[in-house]
Structure 1
């Protein structure tokens, strides 16, 4: 995953509610699987392994966050175990064919959790994070993105 994608995910995480964090974790997992497939096709085994291990960590985090007071958690655990096995199989066999199955399951779960997160009005989970306001400025041959925290009193003139 490139630095720009990491930066975008990081910015989204700081502003995300509990259910949006799950959605972001699914998106990161899918992005890492895509990067692994791309690395395999470009004959880059080190990146392939690194991205699959990253996807595996995301799935492990999803497993660790399950609340087993709810019956659906057992069903989700079964799906996460299946996805984990597919990722491990792709890693050990050095063949991304099983990743298509993992992607399919994760994409369906992502769609479901996106719908759940639309109804989540709980607000950002992280407190004391910088409020992001994005703006674009043009530089010599580049387009620069800036973030400004409106609560930062040390910026600009104080009247």
Structure 2
């Protein structure tokens, strides 16, 4: 049975505009990457594996959602593929340094998509 909070979250996600969903995915990828890095530092490799796979899944979802009619999508695909490959390497080697290397990329993606969402939704107009 779904509790009220879970139902609220599900409704929020299902009703969110696409740009907001991308922001939420980027936030999730960043969160899981940071948790993976922490787990690697603590030598909890099973947990690190779980978090790295969750991050990889999010990056693959972002990659699959690209509309390749736009030039920017080609650049994003290259970036997503790079991040994905580095995540695989981090997982194989259990290397927190590789995760640390992609954190700024994930942060930039999140910030960029947040700005897109604000602009598209009109939230940034008139100080709102």
What's the offset of the Cα at 1:24?
0.4
Query: Which protein is bigger by CA-based radius of gyration?
Result: 1
Write the mapping of 1:37-56 to structure 2, written as runs, cut at 5 A: 37-56=37-56
Q: Does 1:93 align with 2:93?
A: yes
Q: Cα gap change, 1:8/1:75 in structure 2, threshold over 3 Å: closer, same or farther?
A: farther
What's the offset of the Cα at 1:121?
3.3
What's the offset of the Cα at 1:10?
4.8
Where does residue 75 of structure 1 map in the other structure?
75
Tell whether the 8 Å contact from 1:17 to 1:120 is kept in structure 2 after alignment: no
Inter-partner Cα distance in structure 1 for 2:42 and 2:113: 32
Return the structure number with greater helix share.
Answer: 2
Inter-partner Cα distance in structure 2 for 1:109 and 1:46: 27
Q: SS of the residue aligned with 2:82?
A: helix
What's the offset of the Cα at 1:101?
2.0
Inter-partner Cα distance in structure 2 for 1:80 and 1:116: 18
Inter-partner Cα distance in structure 1 for 2:106 and 2:7: 22
Displaced runs of 4 or more, over 4 A? 6-12
Where does residue 125 of structure 2 map in the other structure?
none
Inter-partner Cα distance in structure 1 for 2:37 and 2:10: 23
Where does residue 153 of structure 1 map in the other structure?
none
Where does residue 17 of structure 1 map in the other structure?
17
Tell whether the 8 Å contact from 2:63 to 2:80 is kept in structure 1 after alignment: yes
Inter-partner Cα distance in structure 2 for 1:9 and 1:24: 12
Write the mapping of 1:1-159 to structure 2, written as runs, cut at 5 A: 10=10, 12-121=12-121
Determine which structure has greater relative contact order: mean sequence separation of CA pairs < 8 Å that are 6+ residues apart, divided by chain length. Answer: 2
Return the structure number with greater strand share.
Answer: 1
The alignment's TM-score, normalised by the length of structure 2, stands at: 0.83
Tell whether the 8 Å contact from 1:19 to 1:117 is kept in structure 2 after alignment: yes
Unaligned runs of 5+ in 2: 1-5, 123-128
Tell whether the 8 Å contact from 2:41 to 2:96 is kept in structure 1 after alignment: no
The alignment's TM-score, normalised by the length of structure 1, stands at: 0.67
Unaligned runs of 5+ in 1: 1-5, 123-159
